[in-house]
Structure 1
Amino acid sequence: MNAPTQLLFLPGASGNPAFWQPLADQLEHPAERRFLAYPGFGDEPKDPEVENFEDLVRKVVQQIDKPTALIAQSMGGVLALRAALAKPALVTHLVLAATSGGLDTQALGAHDWREEFVAQNPHLPDWFVTLREDLTGELAYVQQPVMLLWGDADPISPLSVGEKLLELLPNSELDVVSNGGHDLACAHARVLAPLVDEFLQADAIA
């Protein structure tokens, strides 16, 4: 059984890898930490090889060259799931916080945040924000252990989304933070870190 030797942190639509720093600092797991920044987002220079979501999936997959746990926020969770499906032998665990998970979140009661987000962040590439990825039919093939982190006060990805992912992902668990919002993984890092450590130390898939 493989244990992760790399923890790869994926941000959400803001592309800000610093979102994960508080949790990473609290983790005791000995694996190397790597924080992925998305080309063209924030201070990260543009990359001519990353012009759409499929290019970004390919970039994430290229970082997985050793046993890796993927730790992803919001829309980064879609990237993590795609990477897990592409590299099943090397992705050992998934930690998904307040993600859409490739579901129709509005059908599950989510607030549509996209227009407001784009208006507030006009400098960010719009192809990530406007993505409508449907992974419903593929989630049953994700065999890695999946930890779903959710808040019960998140209008962007409400608890109903986490519950639906729990139903669709065959090897998943759902941990709920009381009064947690969309930023729960950062805001409640001290509380969540021991839970994530315990999850990562559990047996990975072969």
Structure 2
Amino acid sequence: MPQLIFLPGASGNTAFFHPLIEKIEKLPWQNAVKIVAYPEFNHQPAHSQVHDFASLQAYVLANIPDDCIIIAQSMGGIFAVAAALQYPEKVKGLVLVATSGGMDLSSFQVQDWRQDYQASDLNYPDWFVEAKADYTVDFAKINMPILLLWGDQDPISPLAVGEFLQQQFPQAVLKIVHDGDHLFLETHADQAAEHIAAYLSQFAAVQQSERD
């Protein structure tokens, strides 16, 4: 099975994924797991080559290994989509969770997260808040199995965003986590793990059939 690569959201909190990973690691097949930490985010040390959004994206993409499935939270979806577009030979699948980046959200009724983000005492780089990336015109090029996971109580990335993405990606399936807000991957890890396990099981079955 491909390695699972986890990309955090705007907080850069790598511990956010721990409840989910604990459940995924109990699956009947073995997946290697890697969480990509963002320099200067959530107490991570700085990196000499990361100084703006473009260089952060280059750093993240350089940490994407061969034969992987990316599981990305919120703004991490920007990097996941960029990786799938630039390295389709590496990225075999995507799990986009409550994605709030990589597309124009102006036509959706979304809550602006940036004010609370900037008020945080974690001193996030200002350039990340100002970053805007829109890959909408390229979504149709990402022809790989995609799981879209959305909470039905998310004001930052409402369910309508997930429904829109399901229409844009050729092989996307949308699953809903009931009573989940923007952080449901941590707070509703059981529900999320069930959907991801089903996605990985189907992925494994397809790979096996191709080998037979």
Shift of 1:60: 2.1
Aligned counterparts of 1:173 and 1:121: Cα–Cα separation in 2: 37
Pairing 1:13–2:10 present: yes
Match of 2:129 in 1: 129
Shift of 1:130: 1.8
Pairing 1:102–2:102 present: yes
Match of 1:140 in 2: 140
Aligned counterparts of 1:194 and 1:115: Cα–Cα separation in 2: 33
1:130-176 deviation per Cα after TM superposition (whole angstroms, max 9, x unaligned)? 21111111111111211111011111000111111111111101001
What's the TM-score, normalizing by structure 1? 0.92
Match of 1:57 in 2: 57
2:137 partner SS: coil
2:20–2:193 contact (8 Å) kept in structure 1: yes
Aligned counterparts of 2:33 and 2:168: Cα–Cα separation in 1: 29
1:52–1:128 contact (8 Å) kept in structure 2: yes
Shift of 1:37: 0.8
* Equivalent position amino acid for 1:39 in 2: P
Shift of 1:64: 2.4
Aligned counterparts of 2:22 and 2:131: Cα–Cα separation in 1: 31
1:80-102 deviation per Cα after TM superposition (whole angstroms, max 9, x unaligned)? 10011111011011111101242
1:110–1:158 contact (8 Å) kept in structure 2: yes
* TM alignment of 1:1-206, pairs within 5 A: 3-4=1-2, 6-27=3-24, 28=27, 29-121=29-121, 123-203=123-203
Report how many residues are paired.
Answer: 203
**Structure 2 unmatched ranges of 5 or more:** none
1:72–1:97 contact (8 Å) kept in structure 2: yes
* Identity percentage of aligned residues: 41
1:171-200 deviation per Cα after TM superposition (whole angstroms, max 9, x unaligned)? 101001121100011111112212202212
Higher gyration radius (CA): 2
Aligned counterparts of 2:121 and 2:105: Cα–Cα separation in 1: 22
Shift of 1:52: 1.6
